[in-house]
Chain A
Amino acid sequence: EAGVAQSPRYKIIEKRQSVAFWCNPISGHATLYWYQQILGQGPKLLIQFQNNGVVDDSQLPKDRFSAERLKGVDSTLKIQPAKLEDSAVYLCASSSSQGAEAFFGQGTRLTVV
């Protein structure tokens, strides 16, 4: 079975610019997660979708971050405008249901300069 696909793998932008990340979960997986992993730290949940509804976005900085999951399949995470402290790896994961094994993409490494 194909894994979780993320693009791009790497992105370098200047502060105050905008950036978008894309995630294609495993086919049929209802639950989709976006995590932010700052260097040297464990991943922090940004947003969790169940199908196309948001389950948890309590740690999403909504003044600059947004995410959507149209039709309950692919998802896009956007940052506008970016700050230096947004430099991190952004991980997307999916699972067949809440609590089931999560499958992770390879991540997008964002560098904000």
Chain B
Amino acid sequence: AQSVTQPDIHITVSEGASLELRCNYSYGATPYLFWYVQSPGQGLQLLLKYFSGDTLVQGIKGFEAEFKRSQSSFNLRKPSVHWSDAAEYFCLMFSGGYNKLIFGAGTRLAVHP
């Protein structure tokens, strides 16, 4: 079955520290992968996406993600976190064979000053 797993429900980091949010997927082929951010009271905003090609993708707000087929992972990274990055982050997968856009459960990021 197709699924997206975000193992970390909550993560707390200090401002200026590096960040890595984990995402693992289950799908028989190469999926389309996305990271979205949801700030309180705001809609979901696309950070970056992977369809094919270069496995390291750059996004907005200084985020990047790396697709690793061998690990079925698409982890989100940022070298230096800002207080405004505190939000909920969702990893999504589109499985073409099933035409499904599937969400992970989300990771809530808190940033300490």
Contacts and interface: CB of A to CB of B under 8 A. Distances in A.
Interface residues of A, number: 24
A112 to B, nearest CB: 21
Contacts of B44: 91, 93, 104
Nearest to A9: B41
B102 interface: yes
Chain B interface category by residue count? 20 to 34
Given A41-B105, A42-B105, A99-B32, A55 B43 contact: no
A43 interface: yes
Interface string B70-87: 000000000000000000
At the interface, is chain B mostly helix, strand, loop or mixed?
strand
Contacts of A103: 46
A48 B96 CA distance: 14
B34 interface: yes
A105 interface: yes
A43 B42 contact: no
Given A98-B99, A105-B43, 4 more contacts: A102-B92, A102-B101, A104-B36, A107-B43
